[in-house]
Every structure is written in structure tokens, then in C-alpha cells.
Amino acid sequence: MPVIVYVEAGGQRTRVEVEAGANVMRTAVHNGIGGIVGECGGAAMCATCHVYIEDEGAETLPPVGEVENEMLESAAAERLQSSRLSCQLNVTGNIETLVVRIPDRQL
Ligand code: FES
């Protein structure tokens, strides 16, 4: 089973086993992961699901879409090369472990 590892701003790591296709934002919200808000419910309209992807899983993800790119510009925390909106990320077939770091603020 694929695994998502969430690393909260304070350093706490939570490992969640998921079905293939699981959404990174929804999985966080359902598991009570601190720091991922998901205010718009996954419509790419709020940027409160901002995460940084660790190298390990980065190449296996689809590229940043146009709407995602625009919304990342309004993220509360600094945008980095590894920034993504977690609501736009699903754990696809090739991913065994996806490590996402959560910024220190979303609002
Ligand atoms: S949940 Fe709103 S942009 Fe991802």
C-alpha cells in the first residue's frame, strides 16, 4: 500500500497508509493532520492546503497546473520550488512513499 508521510511544521511525522488514488489533502483532513486546512474543499480556490514535496516523491507527480500555479502565488507561507496544493495531488500508481512537509501557516 502506498504511504503518505506528513511532516508538520513542529517536526511531528505521521505515516498514513492509503489506497492508490488517495487525495493528499483529504487524507490529511480525515486523519487530523495539523496544518492542512483545505478551506475550499479541494477546488483549488484557497491555497490553505499548501505543502512542500520532499525529493523522494517529487518526480512521480504530475506537473503544477495553471490554476494551481496561480493559487500558489497567494499561499500564506513562502512558495518554494517544491510547493504544491495538496488537494491537487493524488497518490498515483508509481508512488510508494510520498513525503510532504507542511508550512508553518496556511492563513
Ligand atoms: S483545498 Fe483549497 S486550494 Fe486546496
> pLDDT tens track of the chain, all 107 residues?
999 999 999 999 999 999 999 999 999 999 999 999 999 999 999 999 999 999 766 778 899 999 999 999 999 999 999 999 999 999 987 889 999 999 999 99
107 domain residue, yes or no: no
Pocket test for ligand 1, best of 46, 72, 100, 106 (most atoms within 8 A of CB): 46
Pocket test for ligand 1, best of 24, 30, 48 (most atoms within 8 A of CB): 48
CATH number for 37: 3.10.20.30
* Domain residue limits at 88: 3-101
> Does residue 40 line the site of ligand 1, with CB under 6 A?
yes
73 domain residue, yes or no: yes
Question: What's the confidence (pLDDT) of residue 4?
Answer: 96
Question: What's the confidence (pLDDT) of residue 7?
Answer: 98
3, 23 contact by CB (below 8 A): no
74, 86 contact by CB (below 8 A): no
- pTM exceeds cut of 0.85: yes
Cα separation, 72 vs 86, in Å, equals 11
For residue 107, the number of C-alpha atoms closer than 13 Å in the C-beta half-sphere is 6
Straight-line distance from the first to the last Cα atom of the chain, in angstroms, rounded to the nearest whole number: 33
